[in-house]
Amino acid sequence: MKKKLVVLTGAGISQESGIPTFRDADGLWEGYDVMDVASPEGWARDPEMVLDFYNQRRKQVLAVNPNPGHDIIAGLEDHFDVTVITQNIDDLHERAGSSNILHLHGSIFESRSHSDPDRIYKVGGEELNWGDNDEFGNQLRPNVVWFGEMVPLMEVATQEVEKAEVFIVVGTSLAVYPAAGLVEYVADAVPKYVVDPNIPGIRKTPNLHLVSKKASIGLKIVKEAILDS
């Protein structure tokens, strides 16, 4: 039976494919204040701007490809029972071949009813526009978790992390909660690897291994370590 491997990924892994990180040093996302395009208040103020913003991000994702970091994670399924928990809203893990993925913050390729978050739809084509409604006439919005909203898959993610026999964190600052708190649910005896060029602040915990490298290089190091263990 394969060991259970859980990988928590953030913006740093997709950055190597050419997707800018969600939040850079000046608090902007592609020139927009994140609260204008990633909050219920921003949606209420100017939904058409928000829709256009995500249309541009969707086209951006479609124009790039998975990188070696994504490929390494997908390849680990040959050796482990892998669950990927990602904070990213792109589909690069899917395109790399990973088969069990939890999108904590939603997917840019899905829409949902403004009135009922349980009514979720695939985005047909590249654009989601004002006037695109569900079957009940309610406007569709990106199926993305915005600031101030609940993270529906947190309970499922926590259950996966609790079952981990190996745990890897890659490309995330561990600064965005509640996702950052998942590491607290990993058992002390479980090997934990954190891969990031700038190692985030993380409390001292047993079996913690810090790899100060970008995702593709760091994951190659981690792969060799866990296959040899």
Q: Tokens in use for 52?
A: 């256009």
Higher pLDDT, 203 or 57: 57
Looking at residue 20, its pLDDT comes to 80
Determine which helix (DSSP H) or strand (DSSP E) holds 106, and give its type and residue range: strand 106-113
The pLDDT value given to residue 181: 82
Which residues are marked as active site? 105
- Mean pLDDT computed over 106-131: 92
Helices 215-228 & 68-75 angle (0-180, nearest 10): 20
pLDDT category of residue 200 using cuts at 50, 70 and 90 = low
Name the pLDDT band for 25 (thresholds 50, 70, 90).
very low
- Under 8 Å between Cβ of 7 and 166: no
Helix (H, G, I), strand (E, B) or coil at 6: strand
In the structure encoding, which two tokens stand for residue 118, read together? 């349980």
Mean of the per-residue pLDDT values of the chain: 91
**Diameter of the chain measured on Cα atoms:** 56
Residues 61, 19 contacting (CB under 8 angstroms): yes
What domains can you pick out in the chain, each with its CATH number? 1-17+68-76+153-229 (3.40.50.1220)
pLDDT at 135 over 60: yes
Alpha-carbon gap, residue 142 to 114, rounded angstroms: 9
With cut-offs at 50, 70 and 90, classify the pLDDT of residue 176. Answer: low
pTM of model > 0.85? yes
Dist CA 77 CA 140 (whole Å): 35
* Percentage of residues in the chain having pLDDT higher than 70: 91
Q: Per-residue pLDDT for 23 more than 90? A: no
94's tokens: 């899917």
Q: What is d(CA 53, CA 42) in angstroms, rounded to the nearest whole number?
A: 12
